[in-house]
């Protein structure tokens, strides 16, 4: 197992290619890039995980989401969620 980083864009819903069974740990802004960190097994095949990025005050769709973390960049606050099991 290792901790890997995955760049995100400040879009509403996006898909991240990530090893099966990965566990999202946190998010931050790294060199101006919104980035998610996850505990992964790099030997496992990659799957597409649905990720939601919203700013404060925005609605979250009624789907099942797991909170990943919050990151602040130049006064903007981004909240990141991953599709739940």
Which residue is listed with tokens 């505990």?
A: 39
Residue 30: DSSP 8-state:
E
Q: Are 82 and 66 in contact (CB under 8 A)?
A: yes
- pLDDT at 73 (0 to 100): 87
pLDDT of residue 85 exceeding 80, the answer is no
Which residue is listed with tokens 């890997």?
A: 4
The answer, as to whether pTM is greater than 0.85, is: yes
Q: Are 15 and 9 in contact (CB under 8 A)?
A: no
Q: What mean pLDDT, rounded, does the chain reach?
A: 92
pLDDT of residue 83 exceeding 70, the answer is yes
The whole-angstrom distance between residue 73's C-alpha and the CA centroid of its chain comes to 15
């Amino acid at each position: 197992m290792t901790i890997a980083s995955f760049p995100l864009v400040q879009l509403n819903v996006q898909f991240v290619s990530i090893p099966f069974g990965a566990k999202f740990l946190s998010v931050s802004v790294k060199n101006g890039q919104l980035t998610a960190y996850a505990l992964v097994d790099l030997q496992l095949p990659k799957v597409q995980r649905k990720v939601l990025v919203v700013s404060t005050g925005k609605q979250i769709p009624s789907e099942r989401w797991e909170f990943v973390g919050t990151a602040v960049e130049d006064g903007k606050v981004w909240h990141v969620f991953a599709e739940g099991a």
